[in-house]
Amino acid sequence: MSALIFDRFSYTYPGQREPALREVSLTLEPGEFVVCAGLSASGKSTLLRAASGLIPHFHGGTASGQVIVGGLDTREHGPGDLAQVAGTLLQDPETQVVMQTVGAELAFPLENRGLTRAAVARGVEEIALTLSIAELLDRPVDELSGGELQRVALGAALAARPSLVLLDEPTSQLDPVAGDELIWTLRRLNEEWGTAVLLVEHRLERCLAHADRVVVLSEGELVCDAPPSEMLGWAAEHQPALQTPAARLFERAGLRPPPSGVKEARATLQSHGLLDASEGPEPTEPERQRRRPHWPRRAEPGPPAALSCRGLTFELPDGREVLSNLDLALLPGERTALMGRNGAGKSTLLRILAGIEAPTDGKVESEGRVALLLQNPGDYLIHERVDREVAGDVLADYGLEALAASHPRDISGGQRQRLALAIVLSGERPAAVLLDEPTRGMDRAAKGDLISRLNALSAAGTAVLVATHDTELAAAMAQRVVLLSGGRIVADAPTAEVLSGGWHFATETARVLGGQGQACTPEEGGALLRARMTIEATP
C-alpha cells in the first residue's frame, strides 16, 4: 500500500479565483524520503494540508480529484482519522501545542491511542531523547523558545511512530546543530522504521543529500519530480532561486554537475585538484590578509549608538537566568546578525531592546523608534483583509497587491512574513530595526528582497539587528555577527571571521571550502575557485 497518493488533485481556497493546486498527481511509497520545493505561494503548504485532511475538512473551499493517505480517502476521513497514520508539523508550531507542559504534550498522542501507562512513559522518553529535549519535559510550553517549541511539536507528531510524516519547514526556527540533527533523525526513522517522509523546505542545502526525490511545485502545478542532482540541474535552467549555495558555487566556478551536498562537492573539488583533503592549497596574499585575526569589538569614541544596552540581565520567575550582564551597542547604519543555539536568549534580548519586556537589571538606550518583528507574523495581523493591514501603495512595494482582498490567514507563510514586515516598517524611519527569524517561509528571491530593504534602511542610518539561524542570510546581509551562548556574548566579530572555518555556524560554501579564504558566499567561493583554476592552468 502506498503511503500517500495524490490523483489529479486540484483545490481552490474559499473566495479565491485561482486554484492553489492544479491537477497534482504524486505517489509516496513506504520508506521514501521526498523533499517538496518551490517558491513562496507555489502550493507547498496547501499540499501538506490536503495530505493531513485539513483540506477540505477545515479550510473548506473547492476540491476535485483524490488524496489517499495510508489507504484512507481524505474525502471520507478527516484529520482525526488521518492522524492515526500520518504525523503532521505545519509552519506555525505554536498553533499545534495544546498541553501545558512538554511531557504532557508528548504523551497526548500516545494516550489518545489508548496505550498503557508504561508504553506512554517509554514513548515520551524515547522521543525526548531522539530530539534532545529531555531537559524540557517538565517545562511549561509557554516558556519555550521558538526552536524549542518547534522540536516539541515535532516530537508530538512523531511520538506515535506514524507510517507517514508531513513536515512544513521543520528546521526554520532551529539552530544549525538542532537542524542537522533533525534531518539525520528523520533519515534514521525513514531507513529503520520505513517511515515515509514528505518534507517541505526552503533551505534545501540542509536536506537534499538525504532525499530520494525532490518534487517542485510552481503556481500549484507539479513541474519537476527527480533525484536531487537532476533537480538541481533543472533548477539552474528553470528556477535558479531553488539552487543550493553549493550548486551556485559550482555554477560560478564553471564546474559540473551541481552537487547535492557538501560531501559530494568536496569530493569533486578534490578530484579537480582544487581542494586539499587536509589543509588545502597555500593561501594567496589576499587570502592571508583576510585571515588576519579580528578581535571582539570594544567600545571606542565615536558616534552615539542607535541602540545599546549595558549590564543587561533577565531572570525567569523560577530564578533561571536567560541573559547575564550583557553589553551590546549597535551603531547607526550597522547591519548585525545575532546568532546562537536555541534557548541562548536571542528572542528575549530583542524583546527587551524593543521595550516590550523589562530586564531584571541593566539599562537600554535608543536614539529613536525601535521597530520589532517577532517570530510569529500572525501576531501582527488583526484584520480580515490584507489591504486593511497596510496601505495599497505599501502592498505594491512588497509585491502583495494581488492579495489585497485575501484574508491574512489564507496567504502563504512567506507572504505573511512580508506583510508583517510591511506593517512593522510603516511610518517614520526607525532608529533601529530588530527582526527575529524573519525568513521563515521565504524563498531565496524573497530573502534577496529582504536583504535589499535592510541595506536601504542601513544606508539611511538605521541600525539593523537580525536574530537568525540562517547562516546564508547572515553572510549576505550582515557586516558583523554576534554569537550568543547561555545569555552571554561569546563572539563579536566581522561576519567572515565567524561564519568561515567552522561546521555548524558556517555557510555551505564555507563548509565546502573548509574555511579557506574566508569565503562565505557562492560568489566569493566561485571567485576563489576560478583564481585557483587560473593558477593551475598557468604554465
Angle at 332 between CA 292 and CA 499, to 5 degrees: 35
Band (pLDDT 50/70/90 cuts) for residue 537 is low
- Say how far apart CA 6 and CA 32 lie, in whole Å: 15
Please provide residue 401's backbone torsions phi and psi, each rounded to the nearest 5 degrees. Answer: -60, -30
- Say how far apart CA 260 and CA 254 lie, in whole Å: 16
CATH number for region 4-239: 3.40.50.300
Tell me the per-residue pLDDT of 144-158, one tens digit each, with 9 for 90 and over. 887 788 889 989 998
Highest mean pLDDT among 129-133, 290-294, 338-342: 338-342
Q: Measured between alpha carbons, how far is residue 477 from residues 298, 321, 395, 434 in Å? A: 22, 30, 23, 14
Q: Which of 95, 100, 173, 96 is nearest to 138 (CA)?
A: 100
pLDDT at 37: 96
* Lateral strand order in the sheet of 432-436: 370-373, 432-436, 463-467, 335-339, 480-485, 488-494
Residue ranges of domains in the chain: 4-239, 307-518
pLDDT at 120: 95
Q: What class has domain 307-518? A: alpha beta
Tell me the per-residue pLDDT of 377-390, one tens digit each, with 9 for 90 and over. 888 999 999 999 99
Cell of 26: 504524486
SS3 98: coil
> Across all residues in the chain, what is the average pLDDT?
89
pLDDT at 536: 66
Query: Length of the chain, please?
Result: 539
pLDDT at 279: 39
Cell of 223: 513541474
Mean pLDDT of 66-80: 94
- Say how far apart CA 425 and CA 428 lie, in whole Å: 8
Amino acid, res. 425? L
Angle at 495 between CA 150 and CA 331, to 5 degrees: 95
Lowest mean pLDDT among 36-40, 279-283, 335-339, 529-533: 279-283
Assess contact for 499 and 474: CB atoms under 8 A: yes
- Say how far apart CA 530 and CA 514 lie, in whole Å: 16
Cell of 357: 519586556
Tell me the per-residue pLDDT of 255-268, one tens digit each, with 9 for 90 and over. 989 999 999 999 99
- Say how far apart CA 83 and CA 110 lie, in whole Å: 12
Mean pLDDT of 68-84: 93
Residue 424 pLDDT exceeds 60: yes
Assess contact for 385 and 362: CB atoms under 8 A: no
Please provide residue 315's backbone torsions phi and psi, each rounded to the nearest 5 degrees. Answer: -120, 145
pLDDT at 310: 96
172's CB contacts (< 8 A; 6+ apart) are 91, 150, 202, 203, 437, 439, 440, 441
Mean pLDDT of 356-360: 95
Percent of all residues in the chain with a pLDDT value above 70, rounded to a whole number: 94
Residue 286 pLDDT exceeds 60: no
pLDDT at 300: 52
* Lateral strand order in the sheet of 321-330: 321-330, 307-315, 361-366
SS3 84: coil
- Say how far apart CA 502 and CA 491 lie, in whole Å: 13
Burial class, 8, CB count within 10 angstroms (exposed 0-12 / middle 13-18 / buried 19+): exposed
Band (pLDDT 50/70/90 cuts) for residue 509 is very high
pLDDT at 93: 80
SS3 131: coil
pLDDT at 359: 96
Band (pLDDT 50/70/90 cuts) for residue 323 is very high
pLDDT at 285: 40
What is the 8-class DSSP label of residue 140?
Answer: B
Mean pLDDT of 208-235: 96
- Say how far apart CA 341 and CA 424 lie, in whole Å: 26
- Say how far apart CA 157 and CA 84 lie, in whole Å: 10
Amino acid, res. 398? Y
Cell of 487: 545569555
Whether cis (ω within 30° of 0) applies to the bond prior to 56 is yes
Band (pLDDT 50/70/90 cuts) for residue 538 is low
Q: HEC profile for 19-65?
A: CCEEEEEEEECCCCEEEEECCCCCCHHHHHHHHHCHHHHCCCCEEEE
pLDDT at 295: 39
Neighbours of 461 (CB within 10 A): 16
Residue 282 pLDDT exceeds 50: no
pLDDT at 170: 87
Lowest mean pLDDT among 16-25, 48-57, 154-163, 294-303: 294-303
Residue 515 pLDDT exceeds 90: no
* Lateral strand order in the sheet of 213-218: 86-89, 164-168, 196-200, 33-37, 213-218, 221-226
- Say how far apart CA 189 and CA 197 lie, in whole Å: 9
SS3 310: strand
pLDDT at 388: 93
What is the 8-class DSSP label of residue 473?
Answer: H
Q: Measured between alpha carbons, how far is residue 74 from residues 21, 44, 46 in Å? A: 16, 18, 14
Assess contact for 154 and 170: CB atoms under 8 A: yes
Q: Measured between alpha carbons, how far is residue 182 from residues 150, 151, 289, 339, 454 in Å? A: 11, 9, 37, 19, 30
Lowest mean pLDDT among 5-9, 30-34, 141-145, 333-337: 141-145
230's CB contacts (< 8 A; 6+ apart) are none
Cell of 31: 520508506
Neighbours of 308 (CB within 10 A): 21
Neighbours of 239 (CB within 10 A): 21
- Say how far apart CA 383 and CA 386 lie, in whole Å: 7
Strand partners, 12: 62
Q: Do domains 4-239 and 307-518 have the same CATH topology?
A: yes
